[in-house]
Amino acid sequence: MTPNDLLRQESTSPWTFFKWTWALLLLAVEVQAYDNASITDVDLRFGRRAYNPEIARRQNARNCIPKPGDASHQPQRRGLFDLFGLDGRSEAGELEVVKKRDEVDGYYDANANGTKFLWSLEDVHAGESFFDEMAFFSYRDPTEGHVNYVNESEARRKRLIYTEPDGTVIMRADQETHLPHGAYRDSVRIETKKNYTGGLFVLDMKKAPWGCAVWPAFWSTNARWPCDGEIDILEGVHDAQHNQVTWHTAPGCHLDASAEFTGDPVVSSIENHPPVNGTIDCDSDVNGNAGCGIYEWSRSSYGPFFEEQGGGIIAMKWDENGIAVWSFFRNAIPKDLANETPETDTWGPPSAVLMPSRCDLGWYFKEHVIIFDITFCGVWAGVTYTDTQCPGTCETRMMDPANFVNATWAINYLKIYRKVPVFASIISGNSGTKSSTATMAWGASLLSLALGFITIM
C-alpha cells in the first residue's frame, strides 16, 4: 500500500470525520467567546470611549480603505453560529414570534425580491431597567460643546437621570446651576453596551430636548468613525421645528436624491459642494462634515410642536434594502408597533432613506452603538446661533439654568428588533391550519455542514 493509499484511507475514516467535527466545534466555541467579549474590555482596549477630535483627525476618511495585510481593517472574526445564521438565540423564541404574527394578522414584511421576513424583538430599554445596559460617556465632547458629561453616579446624584412613577425615563441637562460666563453645563450622554449591524430601532418619546443653545441627538456610530459610519436619527438645534436625519461616512457613499422619501434633502453650499448627478455626498471629509441629510417635512418631528401633541415614535430600519427613518406623532402610531409586530412596508414612504443604489451599506455601516446626548453650542449650535431668533450669544445663554427647562428626554421605551427570514409554510396535521415558520435555518444549516464534510471525505 502506497503512502497515498494510506492518506486516502485515513481521510475517509469515521474517526477522521469525528476529529474534524470536534475541532471545528471547539473553534466555534472559542471564536464565539471572542465575539461575546465584554464591551467594557473592548472599550478599554480599543478606546471606543475616546470619541474626540484628535482621534477623529488621525483616523480620517483616507485611512478607512483597507491596506493589504492591515488586520485592523479586516472583517471581525465571526463564530461558526454566525456563519450559518445561527447566533445562539432560541429557536423556540423565533417560533413564538411567528405564532404571534399569525395570530395577529398573518402578514409578513417582504424584501424587494419577494422573500418574506419579520422583525423579532431583541432588546428593550424601558422603565427602571432602562440604564442597565447603557454606558455613560464622561469625556470631553468631540463636537466642542459647552458641556460636562457626567458619569452615572453623578447623574443620579444630581437627578439628571431618573424614572418617574409611570415608568417614563428622564434624561436632562442641569437646570438648577447659575454659571459664570464661559463655564460649561452638566449633562448626560449614554450609549448601548451592545452594538448592532442592522435592525429596527423604535424610540417612543413624550418629549425630546429643544431650545436656544441646545443640541440633542439620538444617533449611532462606533470607534472607527467615520470608517464604519454615523447615522443621526433624531437631531436638531435651537428653535428648529424639523428633525434632520443625516449620514456621515468614509469617501464613496452618496445619498440618492431620486429615492422615495417625504423629506427635503439638505443642500449645502459649503466649499461649493452641491449635489452631483442627483446625489449628495455623505463623505465626512468634505463639505465641512455636513454629511448627507434630509429634513423631515412635519413640524411635529422636532421641538415644541412634537412635545405639545404628546410626542410620538421615531423608527429607523437598517437592512440590506436601505437605512430609512419614519416619524409618527402620538395619534398616528401604527397598531403593529403597539402589538410588537412591526410591518414596515405598510408604513408608507419614509421621511428619509439612504438607498444601496449609491452606497454600499454593508461596507460603510457596521457595529454601531446607539447613543443619546444633550450638548450645547459647539460646532453646530454655536456656529448657527446668530442665524436664529435666539437672544444674546450662545455663551451668555449658557449662564441661566432657566434657559434649559426644555433640555430633557422623556422616554417611554427603546425597542430593538432583529430581522428574521421566513423560509417556509407548514400545514399542521391536527388542525389543518397554515403556520409560517422561520425555524428551518437550524436544520438546513446543520444538514449543509454535514453534507459538506461528507463531500470532502
Told to judge if 230 belongs to the known catalytic residues of this protein, a careful annotator would answer yes
Give the orientation angle of helix 440-456 with respect to helix 14-35, to 10 degrees.
130
CA 40 – CA 56 distance, rounded (Å):
21
In contact, 397 and 146? CB cutoff 8 Å: no
Told to judge if 235 belongs to the known catalytic residues of this protein, a careful annotator would answer yes
In 377-457, the DSSP E strands lie at 408-421, 424-427, 434-437
Centroid of chain to Cα 208: 18
In 296-368, the DSSP E strands lie at 312-319, 322-329, 352-354
CA 373 – CA 173 distance, rounded (Å):
10
Residue type at 31 in one-letter notation: V
Strand partners, 246: 232, 293
CA 311 – CA 390 distance, rounded (Å):
24
Phi and psi at residue 352, to the nearest 5°:
-150, 145
Closest residue by Cα to residue 97 from 76, 79, 120 = 120
Q: Pick the catalytic residue from 235, 296, 307, 343.
A: 235
Strand partners, 121: 417
Closest residue by Cα to residue 315 from 414, 244, 220 = 414
Return all residues near 310 (Cβ < 8 A) that are at least 6 apart. 206, 329, 330, 331
Q: Pick the catalytic residue from 94, 191, 230, 296.
A: 230
Closest residue by Cα to residue 279 from 354, 363, 348, 226 = 354
Q: Is 122 helix (H, G, I), strand (E, B) or coil?
A: strand
| Catalytic (active-site) positions | 230, 235
